[in-house]
Structures are given as C-alpha cells and as structure tokens.
Amino acid sequence: MRIYLVSPTHYDGSGALHKTTRYWTSGITLPYLKAITPKGHDVELVDELMYDVDLDRECDVVGITAMGPQIVRAYDLAREFRSRGRRVVLGGTWATLTAEESLRHADAVVAGEAEDVWPELLADFSEGRTKGIYRARGGWRSLAGLAPIDYETLPLLKLQAFRESALYRMYFHWPVIFSRGCPHPCEYCAVQTYYQRSYRTRPVDDVLEDMQRIKALGGNRILFLDDNPIARPDAAKELFRRMIPLGLKWASQSTVNMARDPELLDLAARSGCVSLSIGFESINPESLHGIKKDFNQAGRFREDIAALRAKGIQVIALIMVGLDGDTPETFGRTLQFLLDNKVSFLKLFTPCPYPGTKFHDDLVRAGRILDGNWARYDYGSPLIEPTGMTTGQMMDGFKHIYESFYSLKNIARRFSPPPKGQLLESLAYVVANLKVNRYLRSHERAWATIS
Ligand code: B12
Ligand code: SF4
C-alpha cells in the first residue's frame, strides 16, 4: 500500500497554521514509523510545521501523529483525507489518551506503542477491514535493536543547509533516543500516564551506533528526545562515560536530579552536555506537592543550578504558574529566583490539563476546567481556574515574568557572568534570548508557543 505519514502543525491564535522555514531539531516519530513498516509498502512523510500537506496525494493510508494542540489540526486533516476516500489512522500521545474520541475522526487509532500493532493494522487495511482501536499489548517491549531511522531524510532537517552553513550546523540538533517513559508520579504529565510510569533504556551500544551514524553525516550536536534520560543513573552513567570519546555536544530534558549526583553530572559534562531543560515547575513546595512533584525539593534549586552552571551547562527552566498553592505574590518571587540564579532560558506554562491524566480528571470533577477547546491546550492559555488568584491575575503574572525575564536589562544580568567555560554556547544563548525578546514584542500570542 501507499502510506502517507503526517505530523500536523497547530493553529495560531488567529486560526492560521503555525509555520516556520527553519527548526532547531526534527521529530523522529514519522521516520521511525517508516522504519517499522513491513517491507512491500511505499511510505512518504511530511511535517506540516515546515511543508504543506498534500491533501490530494494518491495513497491508500494516511497516518497522522499529534502532540498537544496539533490534535485539532490532526482531526481536520483526517476529515479532509477521509472526504477524499483515504483511510486514516491516528496515533501518538494525545490519540492514545483519548482513543475513543480520536476514533470518531479516523478509521483506526493506534493506542500506545506501534511496534507490535502497526503491521497487524496494515494487514487488516490491505484486506479492507479495521478493528478500530489497536491497543499495544503484551507489556512494555525491550528497546534493544530498535529499527534504525534514516537520518538523511529527517522531516525537518535541511540537509543542504547543514552541509553548506556552519551556523546551521551549530543550530540543528540531531535527535537520538536513549529511554522511553518516566517512573515519577507528576499528576499533570501525559508521559508517565502514557507509559504508566514504566521506564526502559536502550542498550548503550545501540545508542552509540545512532551517534556514529550522525557523526558520519557530519553532525556533532545531539538532542536526546527523552523525558528523563537519568531515571536509571547507572545506565545513564554508562552511556555518558562511553560518549566521552565521541566528542559530541548534547542537550536534553532532565529532572533536577542530574545536579544532585556529582558523578553523573561530571560524566554528563565530560560527554558534552551543554544545556538541560529542567522541569522545576515551581519554587513553592506546596505547589509541587499539589502536582505530586515533591521529589523536586524546591529548597535545593539554588544549589542545583549553581552545580550545573559550574559545569558549563546552560539551564533552561520550565516553570508552571497558577498552580494550587501559588498566589499573586508567587510571580515576583519566581522572577527573582530566575534572575538571581542566572537561568539561561525560560519556558513558562499555565497548567494544561491534558485529557487522560489524573490532573485532568480531578479538575473536571472539581468543575475547574475553563476551556475544552483542544486548540488552546498550548503553553500559555488560561485552561483551569486557579485557586489562589483570579484567571486574569494568572495571565498578567505569566506575561509579566516573560517580559521581565527577557528584557534587555535582565538578559545582560543573567549572563554576567555566563556559566563556566563554553563561551560560544553562552553567546548562542544570548542571541536566542535576544530573539525571544524581539519575538515577544512583535507577536501578540507568542507566549503560548515558545518551543
Ligand atoms: C521529542 C518531543 C518533541 C520534540 C520533537 C517534536 C516532533 N514533532 O516530533 C520537540 C521538542 C520539538 C517537541 C515539541 C512539542 N511537543 Co513534544 N514531545 C517530545 C517527546 C519528548 C518525545 C516524542 C518522541 O519523539 N518519541 C519517540 C517516538 C518514536 O515515539 P512516539 O512519538 O510516542 O511514537 C510512538 C507511538 O506513540 C506511536 N505513534 C505516534 N504517532 C503515531 C502515529 C501513527 C499513525 C501511528 C500508527 C503510531 C503512532 O508509534 C511510535 C512507536 O511506538 C514527547 C514525550 C513522549 N515521551 O512522548 C513530547 C510530547 C509528545 N510533546 C508534547 C507537546 C505538547 C509538544 C508541543 C505541542 C509543545 C508546544 N506547545 O510547543 C510541541 C509541538 C512542536 C511541533 N510542531 O512539533 C506533549 C504532548 C501532550 C499530549 N497529551 O499530546 C508530550 C507528551 C510532552 C509532555 N510532557 O506532555 N516535542
Ligand atoms: S519527571 Fe517529568 S517526565 Fe517524569 S513524570 Fe514528572 S513531568 Fe513527567
């Protein structure tokens, strides 16, 4: 069969499609689905963030993935394709956690990991039938020997630009996966919900093989697409130790626990870690308790950030505002904390109740969800009624922190001095901060989409 795999973009505040001509990394969901597609099928892929989806493409099956607010566009695309006689499959985090709803928009839904059910689904489609929801079964499969993706045709990689431009080579981060899942209990999190708090790592040899393939293409900047690559510290230490001779630079998400294990942190830095996105979420212990993220221990953040900066690692802070336990007074303290500790980059979130999570279910029961339009389930929309402030105060505080954090004065303050060593990285971060400063001033709803 001819299979067309699509990663949709999302609609911006004005209802237009959010597009870009350049992106700092690329997803691997579609290349990986292509890699696990049984032989004999013809697979094409498109990421709508950068390219247009061809609604009239001659094909037998359209497979659509979706993250967060992209789900609304995914449903719209599904409708368009089905009206043209194509059969549509939806998969990914959102479709998994709302499988029954998603099936109303498609001929089939893959709920959970696709490895074992995708071939079965395609076989059914070939024979003109569908079972509706194809749920991954048989427990969490081993991650040894995952099908290798074709790195040269990553959907958002501009290979020509990569070959020709040193700036693009600094900008583009090659995606690699070390682990899947996360064992922590954070109640708002779609990841632990999807993976049911399971956690698996790939054999280090397999990961190094991916890195060698990237190096062979001239790449030396890696982005781990993991949510928590250090949940098994011994496995992470083995990986980092063996990465040292490769001489790569890498970035990742991580829990703050990275800063609390000196051996792990040292190996991370020596293996080329230059920046980490860390879900601090709140400086308020009570707010962390409310979302079951007590392991973060806000009282240690100051020391943690200092430890990371001392290793030359740029800290990207992920912070939620408007949690239960927050009051209008929390905004000022949060901003002060970010400035005093010289955080390099900030992503703010208003609480987002992703359907399927306990956080969502509790808020539905409490009647506190303000908006059921999935298109608004982005980083910065008022989706839940806060308890310690009005919704207006939450949004004003959100904008105030962003504006102040990215003001020219505070950019200068945060990078004086920059994290130890890695001066070129710091310079790149200053440029990124200046870009955000400009972007925030020129885009009304930029707050909701920084990623
Ligand atoms: C890497 C990543 C990114 C990268 C790459 C994005 C991309 N386009 O691929 C970056 C950092 C850019 C990113 C951005 C965003 N992300 Co993101 N991202 C992830 C992350 C960490 C890993 C996803 C991944 O690649 N996994 C590896 C692949 C192989 O696994 P997979 O995608 O799950 O696919 C498997 C199955 O799910 C299934 N499957 C998936 N799709 C489909 C489709 C079909 C047809 C089939 C058959 C099967 C199938 O098959 C695969 C093999 O088993 C996840 C967290 C997570 N662990 O899922 C968040 C996550 C998916 N992202 C999320 C969000 C919200 C976003 C943003 C919308 C945030 C924002 N507001 O900007 C943006 C969207 C940007 C964009 N336009 O793409 C949320 C989604 C929440 C939800 N309930 O939907 C997650 C769960 C993070 C979270 N903590 O909540 N993201
Ligand atoms: S630590 Fe991060 S990935 Fe893990 S459950 Fe909490 S929010 Fe989710």
Q: Could you tell me the strand order of the sheet in which 345-349 lies?
A: 174-176, 221-224, 249-254, 273-281, 314-320, 345-349
Q: Please tell me if the CB atom of residue 278 comes closer than 6 angstroms to any atom of ligand 2.
A: no
Mind listing the pLDDT tens digit of every residue in the chain (451 residues)?
A: 999 999 999 998 889 999 999 999 999 999 999 999 999 999 999 999 999 999 999 999 999 999 999 999 999 999 999 999 999 999 999 999 999 999 999 999 999 999 999 999 999 999 999 999 999 988 999 999 999 999 999 999 999 999 999 999 999 999 999 999 999 999 999 999 999 999 999 999 999 999 999 999 999 999 999 999 999 999 999 999 999 999 999 999 999 999 999 999 999 999 999 999 999 999 999 999 999 999 999 999 999 999 999 999 999 999 999 999 999 999 999 999 999 999 999 999 999 999 999 999 999 999 999 999 999 999 899 999 999 999 999 999 999 999 999 999 999 999 999 999 989 999 999 999 999 999 888 876 666 665 5
| Residue with CA at minimum distance from ligand 1 atom 41 | 92
Query: What is the residue type of 164?
Result: E
Query: In terms of domains, do 212 and 108 share one?
Result: no
What's the gap in Å between 191 CA and the centre of ligand 1? 9
Domain for residue 282, yes or no? yes
Domain for residue 100, yes or no? yes
Q: Tell me the residue range of the domain where 28 lies.
A: 2-135
pLDDT of residue 137: 86
Query: In terms of domains, do 213 and 337 share one?
Result: yes
Are the CB atoms for 252 and 279 separated by under 8 Å? no
Domain for residue 248, yes or no? yes
What's the gap in Å between 300 CA and the centre of ligand 1? 30
Query: In terms of domains, do 196 and 51 share one?
Result: no
Q: Please tell me if the CB atom of residue 29 comes closer than 6 angstroms to any atom of ligand 1.
A: yes
| Residue with CA at minimum distance from ligand 1 atom 17 | 67
pLDDT of residue 369: 97
- Please, where are the H alpha helices in 65-221? 70-83, 93-97, 99-103, 118-126, 159-164, 166-171, 190-194, 204-216
Token pair in block for residue 231: 């949940």
What's the gap in Å between 135 CA and the centre of ligand 2? 23
Which ligand has its closest atom nearest to the C-alpha of 349? 1
Q: Please tell me if the CB atom of residue 114 comes closer than 6 angstroms to any atom of ligand 1.
A: yes
Which ligand has its closest atom nearest to the C-alpha of 194? 1
pLDDT of residue 445: 64
| Residue with CA at minimum distance from ligand 2 atom 6 | 186
CATH number for the domain including 33? 3.40.50.280
Residues 6+ apart with CB under 8 A from 347: 277, 316, 317, 318, 319, 379, 450, 451
Helix (H, G, I), strand (E, B) or coil at 74: helix
Residue 91: beta bridge partners? 65, 110
Query: In terms of domains, do 177 and 306 share one?
Result: yes
Q: Please tell me if the CB atom of residue 102 comes closer than 6 angstroms to any atom of ligand 1.
A: no
Domain boundary (116, 135, 154) is at 135
Distances (CA, A) of 131 to 78, 107, 117, 125: 18, 9, 11, 9
Are the CB atoms for 374 and 69 separated by under 8 Å? yes
**Which of 28, 36, 51, 67 has the most ligand 1 atoms within 8 A of CB, as the residue to mutate?**
67
CATH number for the domain including 348? 3.20.20.70
Query: In terms of domains, do 129 and 186 share one?
Result: no
Q: CA 90, CA 93: separation in Å to the nearest integer?
A: 10
Token pair in block for residue 225: 């697409």
List of E strands, 248-344: 249-254, 273-281, 314-320
Query: In terms of domains, do 230 and 349 share one?
Result: yes
Q: Please tell me if the CB atom of residue 350 comes closer than 6 angstroms to any atom of ligand 1.
A: no
pLDDT of residue 451: 59
Query: In terms of domains, do 184 and 88 share one?
Result: no
Number of domains, the chain? 2
Domain for residue 142, yes or no? no
Query: In terms of domains, do 192 and 88 share one?
Result: no
Query: In terms of domains, do 180 and 131 share one?
Result: no
Query: In terms of domains, do 332 and 216 share one?
Result: yes
What's the gap in Å between 283 CA and the centre of ligand 2? 16
Domain for residue 165, yes or no? no
Nearest atom, ligand 1, residue 32 CA: 29
pLDDT of residue 138: 81
Are the CB atoms for 133 and 109 separated by under 8 Å? yes
Domain for residue 141, yes or no? no
Query: In terms of domains, do 375 and 296 share one?
Result: yes
Nearest atom, ligand 2, residue 255 CA: 1
Domain for residue 149, yes or no? no
Q: Among all chains, which residue has been given the structure tokens 């497979």? A: 63
HSE-CB of 402 using CA atoms within 13 angstroms: 28
pLDDT of residue 14: 85
Q: Please tell me if the CB atom of residue 65 comes closer than 6 angstroms to any atom of ligand 1.
A: yes
Query: In terms of domains, do 433 and 315 share one?
Result: yes
Domain for residue 156, yes or no? no
Domain boundary (89, 117, 135) is at 135
Which ligand has its closest atom nearest to the C-alpha of 68? 1
What's the gap in Å between 227 CA and the centre of ligand 2? 7
What's the gap in Å between 349 CA and the centre of ligand 2? 14
What's the gap in Å between 99 CA and the centre of ligand 1? 16
